[in-house]
A and B are shown apart, each in its own frame.
Chain A
Amino acid sequence: MIGVELIQLTKRFKDVVAVDNVNLAVQDKEFLVLLGPSGCGKSTILRMIAGMETITEGEIYIGGELVNYRAPKNRNVAMVFQNYALYPHMVVNRNIGFPLKMAGMERNSINGSVEKVARTLRLEKLLDRLPAELSGGQRQRVALGRATVRDPAVFLMDEPLSNLDATLRVEMRNELISLHEQLQATMIYVTHDQVEAMTMGHRIVVMNDGVVQQIGPPQTVYDLPVNEFVAGFLGSPKINLLRGTLERSNGDWIFRSQSLVLPLGSELSARLAGIQPQPAGSVTLGIRPEDVDVVSSEADSDLRGEVYLIEPVGSDKYVAVRIGEHECMVRTSPRYPLEKGEVIGMNLTWQRALIFDGTGNNIFAT
């Protein structure tokens, strides 16, 4: 069953197209993440679903019903805002119970529901406090409480963790995942944080400039991005993109650039053999930092380059290597001995390499 459906949804602010012809079906009880850089239109989509933004073109269905012309309160959706949007003059108890009060529920029933939600979100001891007396994480939980208390059909979350510090963000991320499992509700979550998207979403929708780039399970999108934008947006450090041309010599595929002649290996050649039409001309070779193995410069290797930057991050060591005109980021073990200026060898995991055609599309994803 479809929870939320967007059909040819478009939003224009005067001459600026914020959301461009978006088609999307969110399954019932699905946790869908809208991911993209700032200004890509993801929050606008959320606001249109909530009814806070008018729709220029297209249709929105919630639970199979057209809601384009319904007031926000009649859409049966709840929203958690980036800045919490708690009512500053109301204590936690009243903040959480406010939607029920507006729905005309009796005081006793409201108290019962608020207590239940407070237990779930560990807010029992904070019910008499004002928002100003709470920490960031507690405020976020109150905002979640206010959203969950009236049991909506769809939860909309607009970067709800972006104001929390790193530790609290991880904690709240896990709490949100548990909350979703507990509530079994449809959730649409907006973020620009790829880690949140990868860890929380059943599916992610990657957006850029108001256009949906790719929809799919997180690992699929990561492994097989449809274009250079998606490949670049997912992954930290970013995927290495080497510009050059693709040639075929004696049946083998060769990637060639100004400083590089790189036979593509048998696995990648086999995958390329199945592509129709056969790729040719300008291409971009994409290889993720974790798919490059550092070896000794004397050893037989796919590539050789000079280390010009080393970034130890504790669990890993990121090494920036210059290969002719190309720059390549490599992820190694933190204990791998490397010096700046050192020449190293690198072997690529060819079966995970990507090739993008002249227009930036992944030739393996079409």
Chain B
Amino acid sequence: MEISHVERRALSQQEARRYRLQHSGAIAASYLILGIACVVAILPFLYILSLSFKQSTAMVTYPPQWIPNPPYYGNYITLLFQKSFVRWGLNTFIVAGTVTLIKLFLDSLSGYAFAKMEFPFKEQIFVFLLGTLMIPFAATLIPSYLIVRGLGMHNTYWGLILPGLASPIGIFMMRQFIETLPDDLENAARLDGCSEFQIYRQIILPIIMPALAVLGIFTFMIQWQSFVWPLVIVTKDEMRVLTTGLASLKGQWVTDWGVIAAGSVMMMLPITLVFIFFQRYFIQASIAGAFKE
């Protein structure tokens, strides 16, 4: 039986309504799941934030007071003026910043060499480098300590920085990204008069900015949160970084959790700023349009 034009139209409208309903249902479900995930992720931070504005005595009250009223700023004042927090923050910034900058330079340079240059045993060397990822940190801790101490670098910035540079994951990441760039880009630069280093500096480096931003954020975050190595190599209070400094606030008998919470909140701030500053690179399609589409 043949259906009329009007019936066919009604059927297609029904189908469109059904699609819209299903579609909006899927969107609502996505929002719900993402909302739960957000709450789970942010709740510990909110708890620490709340804790940092409470006096130690108010921490154990029941029911717990989520929004301290009135807020107590004493924890922050203690942290900033009675402890070495500023010095630890500066140390952490120097160490994390230096490691990040040096690592970005070395990893991008090595990544460029592995991706675009030809040299003997290239693949074997790369596999060997990647293989070092399999060695657990615990296995290298003591040898690294002995080497760094042997070099007289314990309780120094270089003692904190150097071991952080020796990780091939950044080289791997850079190599994978640079490999996707067309060879003709370097060929064009070569014909335009660039040396290999100029190709790296003037052409490759600006293009791989998004990947460098990602690597930079990861490296900075790892260094910012690094705990075991600074704990091992630094014994002087003035050379402590934030993680070990905050841990040192935990007393044997009494611990002022409010001060530690305030320290944790302040420790989170720079990393949040770094992310906000670099996040645009994540979505920047830097080479769009330079090549055929």
- Contact in complex: A85, B188 (CB < 8 Å): yes
Quick check: is B150 within 8 A (CB to CB) of the other chain?
no
Query: In the docked arrangement, what's the CA distance between A146 and B291, Å?
Result: 15
Contact A85 B291 (CB under 8 A): yes
Q: Are A72 and B190 in contact (CB under 8 A)?
A: yes
Residues of A within 8 Å of B203, CB to CB, are 87
B292 beta carbon closer than 8 Å to chain A: yes
CB contact between B286 and one of A51, A81, A89, A103 (< 8 Å): that residue = A89
Q: Given A83-B291, A102-B198, do A73 and B190 touch, yes or no (CB 8 Å)? A: yes
Contact A98 B290 (CB under 8 A): no
Q: How extensive is the interface on chain A, given as a class? A: 20 to 34
Given contacts A102-B192, A103-B193, A163-B292, contact A79 B187 (CB under 8 A): yes
The answer to whether A40 has its CB under 8 Å from any CB of chain B is: no
The 0/1 profile, CB within 8 Å of A marked 1, for residues 260-293 of chain B is: 0000000000000000000000000011111110
The 0/1 profile, CB within 8 Å of B marked 1, for residues 77-94 of chain A is 111011111111100000
> Is B192 within 8 A of A98, CB to CB?
yes
CB distance A83 to B182 under 8 Å? yes
A87 near B198: Cβ-Cβ < 8 Å: no
Residues from chain B with a CB closer than 8 A to the CB of A181 are none
- Residues of B158-199 at the interface with A, using a CB-CB cut-off of 8 Å, are 182, 184-185, 187-194, 198
Q: Check if A134 is an interface residue, CB within 8 A of chain B.
A: yes
- B206 in contact with A84 (CB, 8 Å): no
Instruction: With both chains docked as a complex, state the minimum distance between the C-beta of A207 and any C-beta of chain B, in angstroms.
Output: 21
The chain B residue with its CB closest to the CB of A139 is: B289
Q: Which residues of A contact B191 (CB under 8 A)?
A: 50-52, 72-73, 77-79, 99
Say yes or no: A102-B187 contact (C-beta < 8 A), given A88-B288, A139-B289: no
On whether the beta carbons of B292 and A83 are closer than 8 Å, the reply is yes
| B207 CB-CB contact with A under 8 Å | yes
Minimum CB distance partner of A133 in chain B? B289
CB distance from B210 to the nearest CB of A (A): 11
Query: In the complex, which residues of chain A have a beta carbon less than 8 angstroms from the beta carbon of B286?
Result: 88-89
User: Does the CB pair B292–A99 fall under 8 Å?
Assistant: no
* Residues from chain B with Cβ under 8 Å of A73 in the complex: 190-194
* B289 and A88 contacting across the interface, CB-CB below 8 Å: yes
Distance in angstroms between the alpha carbons of A188 and B291 in the assembled complex: 22
Answer whether residue A210 sits at the interface, using C-beta atoms and an 8 A cutoff: no
Give Cα distance in the complex from A75 to B91, angstroms: 52
User: Given A51, A77, A82, A132, which contacts B290 in the complex, CB threshold below 8 Å?
Assistant: A132
Q: Pick the contact of A79 from B188, B193, B290 — CB < 8 Å? A: B188
**A81-B187, A84-B291 known; A89 vs B206 contact (CB < 8 Å):** yes
- Contact, CB under 8 Å: A87 / B185: yes
Asked if A85 and B184 make an inter-chain contact with CB atoms under 8 angstroms apart, the answer reads yes
**A131 close to B (CB within 8 Å):** yes
Interface residues of A (CB under 8 A from B): 47, 50-52, 71-73, 77-79, 81-89, 98-99, 102-103, 130-134, 136, 139, 146, 163
| CB-defined A-B contacts under 8 Å, sample of 29 | A52-B191, A71-B190, A72-B187, A72-B191, A73-B192, A79-B188, A79-B191, A81-B184, A82-B184, A83-B184, A83-B292, A85-B290, A85-B291, A86-B290, A87-B203, A87-B290, A88-B286, A88-B288, A88-B290, A88-B291, A89-B206, A99-B191, A99-B193, A102-B192, A131-B290, A132-B288, A136-B292, A146-B192, A163-B292
